[in-house]
Amino acid sequence: MKRILSLLVVCVSIPLVLNAQVSKQEPVKKPLPIIDIHVHSISMGNFQMGDLCPWFLENMPGTDPKTGMSFPKKDCVDPWKPAKNDDELTAAFIETINRLNITAVVFCDNPKMLFRWKKLAPDRIIPGIGVSSPGDITAEAMSDSLSSGFYKVMSECAPQYQGMSPSDTSLDKYFAIAEKLDLPVGIHMGTGGNGMANIMGTKFRAAMGNPLELEDLLHRHPKLRVWVQHAGYPFTDELIAVMGWNAYVFLDISGFIWSYPQEEIHMVIKRLIQAGFGKRIMYGTDFMGYPKMIEASIGLIQNASYLTEEQKRDILYNNAARFLRLDQGKMN
């Protein structure tokens, strides 16, 4: 183990020396800040997915109950490899957020991993804790967790996977806590249905991902700050309707940004900007297990020729900084 560690130290120290030499002639610029508002703290012990080619949902030909359905697969030259274990995932994630100057909103899927990452990069990690059904956590426990000050957002809340609406009254007590504590709430909407009916079971309901399902919730909690995750795809018109109706609703483009066809992603971003909501689109990955996901997702925004520099900065940082109130120098 010690030998491995010392080898790692050597490997890491070489680029640092090279950087030091370069910096004498030309100072290395710190990249402009980025906020990734949608990161999962998972353990690779439970991770069951293999290599993944981004934008893999470009061909869904449909099949027959007789032959069954398998998850869409795509070939690519350079597939994303899952991290081999928690140590590799942690090292890659922390290295990437430091190098690219990223602040990450990390959800408590695995408390051990979240605490570990927070310790390693305290100024770059904003912890979150979510609830998807009343069986997950009691309202008292949620209130205690959020009141502790460690968690700054309530997310990811994904009642859609339970076939429930975010306005389901059984979840109301949780959202009331977030409103009272003035903490933003991230709600999974739209995507995630691929293969759900055929492979994984039937609780997921596409209809429960419609942003219009937020209306009763927002009516009951007029000061709640909600962000619609995964752009509520494909309910773009409905999302536009809700954002027009309620100025406190923002959105993230996580998951959607690396799984659907690129033209489709750009069409949605363009549509949202065209409809006047360029200041509410927030960058996010849905990071889980694949270290390369972060840079590929940022690249999609940075290489989008139809976006101005200001629009790119809004998506990658400014909008989330405003939503999270980081631009006021504090959360809350």
Contacts to Zn ion by CB under 5 A: 188
Least separation in angstroms between residue 156's CB and Zn ion is 5
- 247 φ/ψ sector (left φ>0, alpha ψ -120 to 50, else beta): alpha
> Quick one: angle between helices 172-181 and 139-147, nearest 10?
20
User: Is cis: bond before 234, omega within 30 of 0?
Assistant: yes
Q: How far is the CB of 285 from Zn ion (least distance, A)?
A: 11
Closest approach, Cβ 50 to Zn ion, in A, equals: 21
Rounded least distance, CB 33 to Zn ion, Å: 24
Nearer to Zn ion among residue 125 and residue 158 (C-beta): 158
Burial state string for 215-241 with b = 16 or more CB within 10 A and e = fewer than 16: bebbeebeebbbbbbbbbbbbbebbbe
Nearer to Zn ion, 93 or 287 (CB): 287
Place of tokens 């992603």: 265
What minimum distance in Å lies between the beta carbon of 250 and Zn ion? 15
Q: Which residue lies nearer to Zn ion by CB, 188 or 280?
A: 188
265, amino acid identity: I
**Considering beta carbons, is residue 124 or 188 the nearer one to Zn ion?**
188
Q: Would you call 300 helix, strand, or coil by DSSP?
A: helix
Q: Between 188 and 312, name the residue whose CB sits nearer to Zn ion.
A: 188
